[in-house]
Chains A and B, each alone.
Chain A
Amino acid sequence: MSDDKFNYVLRLADNALILSQRLSQWCGKGPALEEDMALTNVALDLIGQARLWYAYAAELEGKGRTEDDLAFLRDAHQFHNFLLLEQPNGNYADTMTRQFLFDAWHYHYLQALCASGDERIAAIAAKSLKEVTYHLRRSSDLLVRLGDGSDLSHQLMQAALDELWRFTGEMSVADELDLAMHGAGIAPDLAMIRQAWVAHVASVAADATLRLPDANSWMHKGGKQGVHTEHMGYLLAEMQFLQRAYPGAQW
C-alpha cells in the first residue's frame, strides 16, 4: 500500500517536472517578451509543485532518497509522466496546445484531489490548484486567440491538436494503480475527470473554431508505466547531465 502511494505521488511529481523542463527550454526564445515571462512563470510554478510531490514521495519511500535523487538519478523507464508532456515544444502552437490539453486535465484533477483522504496530498493539491487555475485561464485564452486568429495560426493550432490528441488518452483512462488509489479514497475517479475534461476541451475548442478529434480514437499509452516516446531519453540526458557527470556535485 505505501509502495502504491509512493508510485502514485511520483506520477504527479513526474508530470510537473517534465512539463516544467520542457517549458524552461523556451526561456529567452518566446515570441514576445511578455509571453516569454509567462511561460517561464508557468515552468517555475510546475517545478515548485514537482518539489512538493517529490519531497512527499521521498518521505513515503523512506529509503533516504531526496527529491534531487528522484529528479536527477532515475532513468526514463522509472519516470511515470504522461507521454503528452515529454513531447517536443515544436512551434508556439504545439506548446500552447500541449499546455491547454494538460492544464484542463490538471485543473479538474487537482480540484477533485483536494478532497483526497490523504491530508498531505489534499494540501499540495489545494496549493497547486491556485496556480493551475491561472495556467488554464491563460492557455484557454491563447487557444481561442490563435485558433480563431489568422488563417496561418488557425492552421498551426489545428495541426497541433491533431498531432497531440493521440497522447491524451492515458490521462483519463485508469490503470491498476489509479483504481487502487481511488479505492483507497486517495485519488479521484478518472471516469469523472474524463467527462469534465472532454466537456471543457470541447467548449474551448469550439470557441477557438478548432475541430476536435474523436475522443474515442486510438491512443498512445505507456507513460504511466514507464514506457516512453523517443523524446524522453534526450530530455533526461540534458536535464540530468550535471548530476550524472559530477555525482554529488554541490556549489
Chain B
Amino acid sequence: MSKEWPLWEVFIRSQHGLAHKHVGSLHAPDAEMAINHARDVYTRRNEGVSIWVARAGDIFASSPGDKEALFEPSDSKVYRHPTFFPMPEEVKNL
C-alpha cells in the first residue's frame, strides 16, 4: 500500500439522478480504497447508486480570471437559444 494518501474528488449519481454530482473529497492511497471510503463517508443515507472517484491532481479547472471571456451570457442573441422548437411530450429529461 502506498504511503502517500493523495486527495480524490468524489462524484455520486443519486437514486433518481441522471448525472454524477460532485459531493466532496477524501484521501486514499488508491482508487479502490477511495471508492470504499467514498461509500463510507458519502453514501450512508441512501444518497447514491453509483460512485466515481478521480485524483484531484487530474482535474483541470477554469481560471476565475477568464470569467468574462468564457461565461459572458449571449442573452442578446436569441437565435442561440433553442426555445422556438416545440418538444414532443415523449421526450423526457431534455
User: A interface vs B, CB < 8 Å?
Assistant: 32-34, 37-38, 41, 134, 137-138, 141, 145-146, 148-150, 153
Q: A145-B1, A149-B1 are in contact. Are A38 and B36 (CB under 8 A)?
A: yes
The stretch of B26-34, B68-76, B84-92 in contact with A is B26-34
CA–CA, A251 and B1, complex, Å: 46
CB within 8 A of A38: which of B1, B32, B37? B37
* Nearest A-chain residue to B38, judged by Cβ: A34
Distance from A95 Cβ to chain B, minimum over Cβ atoms (Å): 16
By the criterion CB–CB under 8 Å, are B1 and A146 in contact? yes
Interface string of B1-34 (1 = CB under 8 A from A): 1010100000000000000000000111100110
By the criterion CB–CB under 8 Å, are A34 and B39 in contact? no
Classify chain B: how many residues form its interface, as a range. Answer: 10 to 19
CA–CA, A141 and B1, complex, Å: 11
Distance from B40 Cβ to chain A, minimum over Cβ atoms (Å): 4
Distance from B19 Cβ to chain A, minimum over Cβ atoms (Å): 25
Distance from B23 Cβ to chain A, minimum over Cβ atoms (Å): 14
Which 7 A-B pairs give the minimum distances between C-beta atoms?
A: A34-B37, A38-B40, A145-B1, A149-B1, A41-B40, A37-B40, A37-B41
- State whether the Cβ of B44 lies closer than 8 Å to any Cβ in chain A: yes
| A41 contacts across to B, CB distance below 8 A | 40, 44
CA–CA, A44 and B5, complex, Å: 26
| A37 contacts across to B, CB distance below 8 A | 37, 40-41
| A148 contacts across to B, CB distance below 8 A | 1
| B40 contacts across to A, CB distance below 8 A | 34, 37-38, 41
| B32 contacts across to A, CB distance below 8 A | 141
By the criterion CB–CB under 8 Å, are A141 and B33 in contact? yes
CA–CA, A141 and B5, complex, Å: 16
By the criterion CB–CB under 8 Å, are B36 and A141 in contact? yes
Distance from A76 Cβ to chain B, minimum over Cβ atoms (Å): 32
User: B interface vs A, CB < 8 Å?
Assistant: 1, 3, 5, 26-29, 32-33, 36-37, 39-41, 44
CA–CA, A41 and B27, complex, Å: 17
By the criterion CB–CB under 8 Å, are B37 and A134 in contact? no
| A32 contacts across to B, CB distance below 8 A | 5, 27
| B36 contacts across to A, CB distance below 8 A | 38, 137-138, 141
7 A-B contact pairs sorted by A residue (CB < 8 Å): A34-B27, A34-B28, A37-B37, A37-B41, A141-B33, A145-B1, A150-B1
CA–CA, A180 and B43, complex, Å: 41
Distance from B65 Cβ to chain A, minimum over Cβ atoms (Å): 33
**Additional A-B contact list (6), CB under 8 Å, known A33-B26, A141-B36:** A32-B5, A34-B37, A38-B40, A41-B44, A149-B1, A150-B1
| B27 contacts across to A, CB distance below 8 A | 32-34
| B28 contacts across to A, CB distance below 8 A | 34
CA–CA, A145 and B27, complex, Å: 16
CA–CA, A138 and B38, complex, Å: 12
Distance from B48 Cβ to chain A, minimum over Cβ atoms (Å): 14
By the criterion CB–CB under 8 Å, are A134 and B39 in contact? yes
